[in-house]
Chain A
């Protein structure tokens, strides 16, 4: 009973958060939703059986069902990795998220403290590729697919990058 109520509450919270503006709230909604799904899987395996699930260690009818536990473990790992990716998407850009007030977006809040720092470390992934890799930090998984090869990417520091950009502009 308590597990069903918990599933219901978590799902309701998730749906409420999905309806909110802003990527971070949606990500939190997904965290709730995946918790609800995991609890449902647990409930499917009957929580009354609480013995050790290995065969031969508990009496028949006492040992827990190992399968839902395996399901939940797998599902947690998957949900965790996708949540990380979504959070990255939430903080990488300011301009193209029309669900968020640009001034209050997480990317803006994170970058306003130190612009130079943010340019070199925070702007990764999609946004870095959006500028053709010119703004990509050395840690960025996205590489400029036209020119910079990995063997030449001995972490070009900020100065070099700026230098390169200027040369490009200077040329006709």
Chain B
């Protein structure tokens, strides 16, 4: 398997790009676009599972794109080891569930939704696999360009304000990344990560270039003090897009930080204190920022920042246990966060608001959504038996192992605050009595969202030129006020799948923990990574 798989790696980037183009070209058929999108994402998932199996024993697969064999510096290497195959696997799961969610909210009917998602996934696969810093920049841009489109298209109800901030900040970070690449090339003469192995330790000039790159990626990962953009953009788009982005953009950046620090700096101990200070601040400021927020999504976005702090503790420790915990936390967090965005998003999409004050009594009204939310929220706060408990427990173990008691204290305090915030959403949205105008507001929202479609069907009787299907029977009944507004099952399902995964990884943590350990081993000993690239 290690012989046949590497030449297939570029397909992970090429196929989604091609399918995205095909989807955009198919003007006529929504169904074809749905099938292409889900099929491609499913194939990517299957391939990434195959990669996880192939790399679970610490094997590193490497391929030079185009079989270019002239000089190692010029070829573009794609490298897959346990870490990036795991991240890719989870990201494809998120892609599938968020596309399902977007299909349920009807956003996926837009001609460019599926193509954007597929190009985004191509960029993600490339950014995860590439073993070359300049290519990392290129693939991050490939990933960002469709994101700009998605953010502007789907968030337009709230104006282009969020999209402007998002594009500006990301372009600034990308330009900084480009400066860093230039500095590294100027000082080390290469941008191939394998050739840069240890360069950050030996040569301070390269270390400065590497620091510029890490800073730029840190902006994209929304690490305090450069986190402000995240909380001002993610709540400004639709819940489906927020759920998709939450698991992808910041997490790919975190992966890049892990990888670059492992290979280029060899986990240099001199700079680890910076990471620990920054992560502690990120945890604290993120969780404190959530206190003043009034909508479910903005609370969750602030929590995302604090969780990014937890994940980066792994880099700050750079021990076997610390890295294992950090990687486990990363994988767990991607699933749980998307699940939370989807369960609260289901309510937001149905009742027309995510404001805690305007919602209430959902436990009786929507018991399934409540259950999904509760599982994911308890997992996020780190309570057993969910995957969050294992993740937090090992992280704190890792900090105690190196006697960083203050980091451990911050981690424990922050998780108490996390639980408090989750309780705030729980009490505000799910408990208590529904506000008297809940049903009217929901109807008004449904009419605004689906009414146009409904009216078109009415108009179709007179001028039968439009070939659109009727709205679903349930939606018609709601609009005709024959039925109360309810969250449809297809909106609950994606979040519930992810909640199921966190339960699975809570009880079966051993499996994911072993894989994370292998990934951590690979990060601790980048020699294998380097050898695989040089000999591919």
- A interface with B by C-beta (< 8 Å): 18, 23, 26, 30, 33-34, 36-38, 40-41, 43-45, 67-68, 71, 74-75, 78-79, 81-82, 85-86, 89-90, 92-93, 95-98, 125-130, 132, 141-147, 149-152, 167-168, 171
- Give the Cβ gap from B480 to chain A, nearest Cβ, in Å: 12
**Interface Cβ pair total, 8 Å cutoff:** 154
Q: Does B456 contact A (CB under 8 A)?
A: yes
Q: Which residues of B contact A44 (CB under 8 A)?
A: 182-183, 185-186
- Give the Cβ gap from B468 to chain A, nearest Cβ, in Å: 5
Q: List 7 A-B contacts (CB under 8 A).
A: A33-B172, A85-B167, A86-B171, A89-B160, A125-B152, A126-B152, A152-B465
Q: Given A75-B178, A142-B110, A146-B453, check contact A67 B74 (CB 8 Å).
A: yes
Main DSSP-derived SS at the A contact region: helix
Q: Do residues B185 and A41 form an inter-chain contact, with CB atoms below 8 A?
A: yes
How far does the alpha carbon of A86 sit from the alpha carbon of B148 in the complex, in Å?
A: 10
How many interface residues does chain B have, given as a range?
A: 35 or more
Q: Does B525 contact A (CB under 8 A)?
A: no
Q: Do residues B179 and A142 form an inter-chain contact, with CB atoms below 8 A?
A: no
For B168, the closest partner residue in chain A by CB is A26
Q: Does B181 contact A (CB under 8 A)?
A: yes
Q: Interface code B180-192, partner A: CB below 8 Å = 1, 0 otherwise?
A: 0111011000010
| Contact among B134, B181, B455 for A168, CB-based, below 8 A | B455
Q: Given A67-B73, A74-B138, A96-B161, check contact A167 B459 (CB 8 Å).
A: yes
Q: Do residues B156 and A68 form an inter-chain contact, with CB atoms below 8 A?
A: no
Q: Interface code B438-476, partner A: CB below 8 Å = 1, 0 otherwise?
A: 000000000011101101100100000111100000000
Q: Which residues of A contact B358 (CB under 8 A)?
A: none
Q: Which residues of B contact A145 (CB under 8 A)?
A: 106-110, 113
Q: Do residues A41 and B178 form an inter-chain contact, with CB atoms below 8 A?
A: yes
- Given A40-B179, A146-B449, A146-B450, 6 additional A-B pairs, CB 8 A: A37-B175, A44-B185, A44-B186, A67-B73, A85-B145, A129-B152
| Contact among A143, A146, A147, A152 for B111, CB-based, below 8 A | A143
Q: Do residues A82 and B159 form an inter-chain contact, with CB atoms below 8 A?
A: no
Q: Does B294 contact A (CB under 8 A)?
A: no
Q: Given A33-B175, A127-B160, check contact A41 B111 (CB 8 Å).
A: no
Q: Do residues B134 and A71 form an inter-chain contact, with CB atoms below 8 A?
A: yes
- Give the Cβ gap from A16 to chain B, nearest Cβ, in Å: 14
How far does the alpha carbon of A45 sit from the alpha carbon of B181 in the complex, in Å?
A: 12
Q: Do residues A130 and B157 form an inter-chain contact, with CB atoms below 8 A?
A: yes
| Contact among B113, B178, B186, B468 for A43, CB-based, below 8 A | B186
Q: Which residues of B contact A67 (CB under 8 A)?
A: 73-74, 185, 191
Q: Do residues A89 and B167 form an inter-chain contact, with CB atoms below 8 A?
A: yes
| Contact among A26, A41, A97, A152 for B468, CB-based, below 8 A | A152
Q: Do residues B159 and A95 form an inter-chain contact, with CB atoms below 8 A?
A: yes
Main DSSP-derived SS at the B contact region: helix
- B interface with A by C-beta (< 8 Å): 27-28, 30, 73-74, 106-113, 134, 137-138, 141, 145, 148-149, 152-157, 159-161, 163-164, 167-168, 171-172, 174-175, 178-179, 181-183, 185-186, 191, 448-450, 452-453, 455-456, 459, 465-468
Q: Do residues A129 and B178 form an inter-chain contact, with CB atoms below 8 A?
A: no
Q: Do residues A41 and B74 form an inter-chain contact, with CB atoms below 8 A?
A: no
- Give the Cβ gap from A150 to chain B, nearest Cβ, in Å: 4
Q: Do residues B171 and A82 form an inter-chain contact, with CB atoms below 8 A?
A: yes
Q: Which residues of A contact B161 (CB under 8 A)?
A: 96-98
Q: Do residues B185 and A45 form an inter-chain contact, with CB atoms below 8 A?
A: yes
Q: Which residues of A contact B138 (CB under 8 A)?
A: 74, 78
Q: Which residues of A contact B172 (CB under 8 A)?
A: 18, 30, 33
Q: Which residues of A contact B153 (CB under 8 A)?
A: 125-126, 129, 141-142
How far does the alpha carbon of A68 sit from the alpha carbon of B27 in the complex, in Å?
A: 40
How far does the alpha carbon of A141 sit from the alpha carbon of B172 in the complex, in Å?
A: 26
- Give the Cβ gap from B478 to chain A, nearest Cβ, in Å: 14
- Give the Cβ gap from A64 to chain B, nearest Cβ, in Å: 14
- Give the Cβ gap from A97 to chain B, nearest Cβ, in Å: 7
Q: Which residues of B contact A85 (CB under 8 A)?
A: 145, 148, 167
How far does the alpha carbon of A129 sit from the alpha carbon of B153 in the complex, in Å?
A: 6
Q: Do residues B156 and A130 form an inter-chain contact, with CB atoms below 8 A?
A: yes
How far does the alpha carbon of A167 sit from the alpha carbon of B134 in the complex, in Å?
A: 54
How far does the alpha carbon of A68 sit from the alpha carbon of B178 in the complex, in Å?
A: 11
For A131, the closest partner residue in chain B by CB is B156
For A93, the closest partner residue in chain B by CB is B160
Q: Given A30-B175, A129-B152, check contact A40 B182 (CB 8 Å).
A: yes
| Contact among B109, B159, B467 for A146, CB-based, below 8 A | B109
How far does the alpha carbon of A40 sit from the alpha carbon of B449 in the complex, in Å?
A: 49
How far does the alpha carbon of A171 sit from the alpha carbon of B457 in the complex, in Å?
A: 14
Q: Which residues of A contact B168 (CB under 8 A)?
A: 26, 30, 86
